[in-house]
Amino acid sequence: MQHERPQEVPEVRHVDQITRIPVPRVQEVHKELPNIVFQPQEKIIDTPLTLRAERKFEQTELVVVDTIRQVVVNETQYIDKYVPRVEVQPHERVVEVPTTLKREVVQVVPQIQEVEAVVEQLDPSIREVQKTVPTDSLSGSRPQMTR
């Protein structure tokens, strides 16, 4: 014998689901408001005012002060200072010091000196030259020619 068992089989059905969401709607309503306008009015009110003006002026003020004047005064003090007196006495002693003595001897060193001798000889030559010698005009003579 067989038993039947019920078995669930999924069945697909299309169903429309409606979800309602409240949507706000705007509706303009005209409301009248009173228009307030301020108008200033000038009003003069006298108010007492104290004005302070400060001026400077010289006022002699005597201030008594003590002054101290310090003056340098030279003060000399003599202080005795003892200095030992040192006396030096010579003591003679003979110390031999080795020295080398040099003896210098004159030695003739031959030197060559070149000298040029210039001999000038007299070569007399005689020339005749005519010269005029002026004489005094008082004597009345003519100038003479001399050789």
Using one digit for the tens of pLDDT, what is the confidence trace for 9-57?
888 888 888 888 888 888 888 888 888 888 888 888 888 888 888 888 8
pLDDT for res 3: 72
pLDDT for res 21: 84
Q: Are 144 and 135 in contact (CB under 8 A)?
A: yes
pLDDT at 146 over 80: no
Structure token pair of residue 95: 């110390």
Task: Read off the pLDDT of residues 77-133 as tens digits, 9 standing for 90 and up.
Answer: 999 988 888 898 989 999 998 888 888 888 888 888 888 888 888 888 888 888 888
Q: Say how far apart CA 11 and CA 119 lie, in whole Å.
A: 171
pLDDT for res 138: 58
Pairing type for strands 144-146 and 131-133 reads antiparallel
pLDDT at 59 over 80: yes
State pTM to two decimals. 0.15
Q: Are 118 and 103 in contact (CB under 8 A)?
A: no
pLDDT at 74 over 70: yes
Beta strands in 1-147 (DSSP E): 131-133, 144-146
Find all residues with CB under 8 Å of 130, minimum gap 6, and list them. Answer: 145, 147
Look at the block and give the residue holding tokens 């030259």.
129
